[in-house]
Amino acid sequence: MLTLLRLLQDGCFHSGQDLGNALGVSRSAVWKQLQRLESEMGVSIHKVRGRGYQLAKPIALLEAGGILLPGGWSLHLRETVDSTNAEAMRLLMGGQSLPLVVLSERQTAGRGRRGRNWLSPFAENIYYSLALRIESSARRLEGLSLVVGLATLQALRALGLWDAGLKWPNDIQVRGKKIAGILLELTGDPADVCHVVIGIGINVNMIDAGEIDQPWTSMQLELNRLVDRNELVSELNRRLFDYLSLHADQGFSVFQEEWEANHIWQGRDVGLIAGSHQVRGQVLGVDSQGGLRLCVNGEERIFSGGELSLRGFDDC
């Protein structure tokens, strides 16, 4: 079906006969593939008698040849997976060399933090996982998700999205609307040798999503143009390589000032939900390990998990 989509992604009308000739199949086989694209992938297609078939909105498929990788990294590009983190973990357990990147056009069971679903429409966003081996130091895990957030933020800005900022611990927002999220999963012993899978979801060309239960936006909505996802992934790879290399060498403390400078909730009064408890205070920043520093009743307290809320004290 991806071959058929590549024929249609130019945005022009194509007759069933021309598509069949290009694919080496009958017109009825083309029709069945088009039906599958709509029913299974959610791709909308205009059908006009006498003109043929045209995508209802333009798409740009991921292409392995169009994605730049740092030396030693491998790319595993999929049409559909349950989640890229799960696929990366399977490849890791199967003995694939690391670091490895998994990309997919669609996820059927994408996940966010705290078990939330991550909406994953076909060929619109970035569903990305990077699997790494980490040896001999739990310090290399300190603040890791925050460093990944910084790298992702800088990749977005490199493509023109200057209004984006960080929300502790793992989100990127634009004017209070979520545009990207990060999910880290570990296996092994953090004090000895472990593996970490870094999952990154970015809303890129999605313009409609009725199933998301929180304010959201996408790069296309913010920039008013179709974003080249291959260019974005290439930039993300470059930024991750640079930031993760420095983090491995010097730890999170070297990023502390940069992270705080890009934290859009710096200095704000917030409610912090941690399990069944809620704490209210003012955001002071983060510590050298990535923990959130809050002023609570005049005293500084540090939290290493939870979820910030934009609600004011009267609404908490």
- Map residue 15 onto helix, strand or coil: coil
Q: Return the active site residues.
A: 113, 178, 311
| Number of domains present in the structure of the chain | 3
Q: In this predicted structure, what is the pLDDT of residue 3?
A: 86
CB of 58 closer than 8 Å to CB of 11: yes
Same domain? 138 vs 234:
yes
Do residue 128 and residue 179 come from a single domain? yes
Same domain, 100 and 130: yes
Q: What's the pLDDT score for residue 10?
A: 82
pLDDT class of 312 with cuts at 50, 70, 90: very low
Please indicate, yes or no, whether residues 21 and 119 belong to a single structural domain of this protein: no
Based on the domain organization, do 77 and 120 belong to the same domain?
A: yes
Is this model's pTM higher than 0.85 or not? Answer: yes
Binding-site residue set: 83-85, 107, 111-113, 178
Identify the band that residue 313 occupies on the pLDDT scale cut at 50, 70 and 90. Answer: low
Please report, in range form, the residues annotated as the binding site for biotin: 83-85, 107, 111-113, 178
Q: What is the CATH number of the domain that holds 310?
A: 2.30.30.100
Contacts of 202 (CB under 8 A, 6+ apart): 125, 126, 128, 152, 156, 179, 180, 219, 232
User: Which tokens hold the place of 11?
Assistant: 């945005």
Q: Which residues of 88-103 are buried (b: 16+ CB within 10 A; e: fewer)?
A: bbebbeeeeebbbbbb
If asked whether residues 74 and 207 sit together in one domain, one would say yes
Q: Which residue has the higher pLDDT, 20 or 306?
A: 20
Q: What CATH number has the domain bearing residue 45?
A: 1.10.10.10
The DSSP 8-state label assigned to residue 30 in this structure reads H
Domain that holds residue 134: 64-261
What integer pLDDT is reported at residue 195 of this predicted model? 94
The answer to whether residues 305 and 248 belong to one domain is no
Surface-to-core class of residue 18, CB atoms within 10 Å of its CB (0-12 exposed, 13-18 middle, 19+ buried): middle
Query: Which among 205, 233, 230 has a CA at the least distance from the CA of 43?
Result: 205
Residue with tokens 């249609």: 8
* In a shared domain, residues 216 and 157: yes
Nearest 10 degrees: Cα torsion 19, 22, 25, 27: 20
Residues 121 and 182 in one domain: yes
Tell whether 250 and 289 lie within a shared domain.
no
Q: How many helices (H) and strands (E) does the chain have?
A: 8, 14
Share of the chain above pLDDT 70, in %: 90
Specify whether 148 is located in the same domain as 216.
Answer: yes
Instruction: Let me know whether 69 and 51 are in one domain.
Output: no
Structure tokens at 36: 């599958």
Q: How confident is the model at residue 211 (pLDDT cuts 50, 70, 90)?
A: low
Q: What is the mean pLDDT of residues 222-251?
A: 96
Q: Does the pLDDT value for residue 133 go beyond 80? A: yes
| pLDDT averaged over every residue in the chain | 89
